[in-house]
Chains A and B, each alone.
Chain A
Amino acid sequence: MSIQVLIRKNTYFDSVSLMALSTQANRVEGVSQAVVAMATEMNKGVLRDVGLYTDALDGAGSGDLVIAVRAASDADAARALTAIEALLQQGQRPARSGEVRHPALEGALRELPEANLAVVSVPGEFAAREARRALDAGLHVLLFSDNVALEDEVALKKLAHDRGLLLMGPDCGTAILGHVGLCFANAVRRGRIGIVAASGTGSQEISVRLHALGGGVSQLVGTGGRDLSEAVGGIMMIDGLRALAADPDTDVIVLVSKPPAKSVEARVLAEIPHCGKPVVVCFLGGSEAAVQQAGGHFARTTSAAALRAAALAGLPRTADAEGLVPDPAVVQEAAESLAPGQRYIRALMCGGTLCDEAMFLVREKTPEVFSNVAKSAEHRLDDAATSRAHTFIDFGDDAFTRGRPHPMIDPGLRLERLVQEARDPAVAVIVLDFILGWGAHEDPVGVTLPAIAQAQAIAGRAGRHLAIVGYVLGTDADRPALADQAGKLAAAGVLVAGSITHAALLARSIVEKGTQR
């Protein structure tokens, strides 16, 4: 039997971590007893009483951490201490296979000197610092963090621009570079169409539409949602556009964004004549005339953008291209099942651009559209927790994600809202998006089905039928696969749309038809 002791001078771990360390230390192979504790005089006395005291403890002080192990042999004890020290280094989180953890960028770069991109995902208060360090090291940056100050974003993008680097973000969740999908990217075919997007789910939607049309993506550059604001000035969209213009693997370029600032829109469009390639512009709520005048191809919706890009890339027109028009029979049946008074759409969305696009399409028919992310004050909800008329909620907005994961990862808030909306007798249609891809929830439909069933039951007990329109953004190469998720929705009685455009038009048609009765 062997007893060995390790002292870590002036080392503090919080109590929960100490307990976890102690538990894991006792599970290390060969260890019959392990203690991880502060080396106070009293604790040293207890260690003596349980037979774990050695001379190494003589010089230990109350601010030191003691790790004492009893094992079958000296070799076992030494191995155990090495394993426990490794646990201390890792912060008790063992790395997954193929994953290496470093506490700072410098160590990571020593491990991987050929790296040319860093993904930064730390609390917003510290993200700018880490992004700057990565740019200073010559890396492109995908800044996944949100709640980054606007002035930091501007400074970082100017720095990146000056160094010929990409600063994708902040709040950028999607990119495909060199055919490597980053963060929330979908598994899509490699192709000849490049995308620059100030919109995560907008870019995802276009990429999966292209895939469905038989095409593919050369590069997908995300810029972060604020890039086309007045303050930021479209720095990364313009740099991304220029990069794709120079990319020999890109034949057609698609730009996608939520509504841009007018002056920035003009600046971006001014780049089109110099690209030398067709550019499709999907700026939701943007000016068709301005795009055409600049020599671009205007697209009102993400589906239209994908269709146009596919055509420009010479892809054959397929049956999917016709799937935008809601089936009149489906609309009729759903409308007839509505009770008097059921007249509103409640869209509960994970994707910001999907929310925007659906909102715009419904607003084409009625002004009674409200949202937590509406640009104009007259359409903004006073209280995001309380719906009004046709309501479109973006659960990915910073107000919902501060201190909690994005709804694509943690759908809890949306599930609660689904049940809440089902209680409202004025609700006719609930629209839900389900986003597949790397980093998303492992089963976004599955985790929502109980809430869907509950919502339907609530409406049913009140003598109402709730039309639920679901759209799954993904491909059959994603895991879970698109067909699997869509099948589950259909089995649950959800009307499954083929695109966000289709979902919005379907919802709009149902309430229109319903109110005409």
Chain B
Amino acid sequence: MDLAFDAPAAAGRQGGAMPRAVAPRAALRAVSADTALLRCVRAGRLQGHVHSVFERVVNVAAGDGELFTLACRSLDDAPHTARCDLAGWRGSGVRVGDPVVACAGGLRVGDAVRLDCGDAAPWDCVLPPYPAKPRAARANLQALRQALDAHRLQLLESGGAFEQLALRTVDQRLQRLADALRGGQAQSAVVHAQALLGLGPGLTPSGDDVLLGLFVVLHLPGSPCEGWLGGGAPVLAGAAGATHAISLAALHRAAEGRVRESVVVLLRELLHGGGGAALAAALDDVLAIGSSSGADIATGLACGLQLQLSEGTPS
């Protein structure tokens, strides 16, 4: 893997020497990846450019408008995500705008990185089924609400005027959305949901994260509210300007019933678990997402579960 210089004659060029193509410097390995993403990569059907670079995540905008993610191994599996065997992207040399192309069963990211996906373990989001007897789910939801109330109070108290107003507005609009859904007012529900898009602090605004949690619950197989709000897709129709690409990508996945693994685990504990330490641990993993994103996602889950339990009979 050397930078080297062609002799002019060999390249048929006039004048000074020109550098040959540089092979990527760092060879990385994908530990696991979303099945759909793996299929595209291995078939060589993926091409795009680096959209954004963070310490633990690189987002890639694919040519078809989709966004996918290269995450560090400390993060959990997620839709459209490949988990890479490294601790952080700092010093990687990956830059916004770098071309990304699938080749030889992996990905080439600019001049900086070659990601081998050959041995990546495939991952799929498998939502837990809704329980036939949701007694445990009721108790677990109550525990979740108590934990969330304390957490959100902390967030409110630590925020300034903007954060406090934004978060209160999120809560109000979520309540209106839940009321509309409960009342069977589908159109009104879509409007209230759209009023949450892009609202609030954080890279992924709080309103987006709340909707993400709600959408996933509306996809639970066999649940009373399965398919309500169209699963979320009608909310996102025409939402391109309401929030930015990173948040929108996660929302679209949630509207398909796909979400990151830590959220799936929390859902499983909420619906089927015995509460206690296991539920607390699963909640902690979700609360650790972002700054308030985890709490907002859990708020959306709680809202959705409340709707499910209020509806009573599983479908």
Contacts and interface: CB of A to CB of B under 8 A. Distances in A.
**Which of A22, A62, A127, A152 gathers most chain B CB within 10 Å?**
A62
B26 A128 contact: yes
B14 to A, nearest CB: 25
Interface string A473-493: 000000000000000000000
Contacts of A12: 52, 54, 203, 244, 246
A40 B198 contact: yes
B91 A61 contact: no
A48 to B, nearest CB: 11
Nearest to B54: A14
Given A19-B201, A43-B205, A125-B86, A38 B93 contact: no
Contact of A63 (B91, B205, B245, B292): B245
Nearest to A26: B160
Given A129-B93, A403-B87, A62 B291 contact: no
Interface string B8-45: 00000000000000000111100000000000000000
B197 to A, nearest CB: 7
A149 interface: yes
A202 B57 CA distance: 39
B92 A125 contact: yes
Contacts of B163: 22
Contact of B242 (A40, A132, A136): A40
Given A22-B160, A38-B244, A40-B244, A15 B203 contact: yes
Contacts of B52: 12
A129 B162 contact: no
B290 A35 contact: no
B126 to A, nearest CB: 27
A472 to B, nearest CB: 31
Contacts of A40: 197-199, 205, 242-244
A43 B201 CA distance: 8
Nearest to A127: B91
Interface residues of B, number: 49
Interface string A41-71: 1110011011010000000011100000000
A33 B161 contact: yes
Q: How would you classify the secondary structure of chain B's contact residues: helix, strand, loop or mixed?
A: loop
A123 B25 contact: no
A137 to B, nearest CB: 13
Contact of B2 (A37, A38, A155): A155
Contacts of A512: none
Nearest to A16: B291
Given A33-B160, A50-B165, A16 B290 contact: yes
B203 A18 contact: yes
B162 A14 contact: no
Interface string B73-99: 000000000000011101111000000
A37 B162 contact: yes
Contact of B198 (A18, A62, A122, A155): A62
The interface centre, meaning the residue of B1, B165, B203 with most chain A CB atoms within 10 A of its CB, is B203
B19 to A, nearest CB: 11
A130 interface: yes
B195 interface: yes
A400 interface: no
Contacts of B86: 123, 125
A61 B1 CA distance: 41
Interface in A123-181: 123, 125-130, 132, 136, 149, 152, 155, 159
A136 B93 CA distance: 16
B69 interface: no
Nearest to B1: A155
A11 to B, nearest CB: 9
Contacts of A159: 2
A379 B270 CA distance: 49
A116 to B, nearest CB: 21
Interface string A200-228: 00000000000000000000000000000
A234 B6 CA distance: 30
A19 B291 contact: yes
Interface in B230-284: 241-246
A42 B165 contact: no
Contact of A130 (B91, B202, B204, B207): B91
Nearest to A122: B91
Interface of B: 1-3, 25-28, 52, 54-57, 86-88, 90-93, 112, 160-163, 165-166, 169, 195-205, 207, 241-246, 290-293
22 contacts: A12-B52, A12-B246, A14-B203, A14-B290, A15-B204, A15-B291, A22-B160, A33-B161, A37-B201, A37-B202, A38-B205, A38-B243, A40-B244, A41-B242, A42-B205, A46-B165, A50-B165, A125-B92, A127-B91, A128-B25, A129-B112, A155-B1
Q: Which 9 residue pairs are nearest across A and B when measured between Cβ atoms?
A: A40-B198, A122-B91, A42-B199, A15-B290, A129-B25, A15-B291, A15-B202, A63-B244, A42-B198
Given A15-B290, A43-B198, A123-B90, 9 more contacts: A14-B55, A18-B202, A37-B202, A40-B197, A40-B198, A42-B195, A43-B205, A132-B25, A159-B2
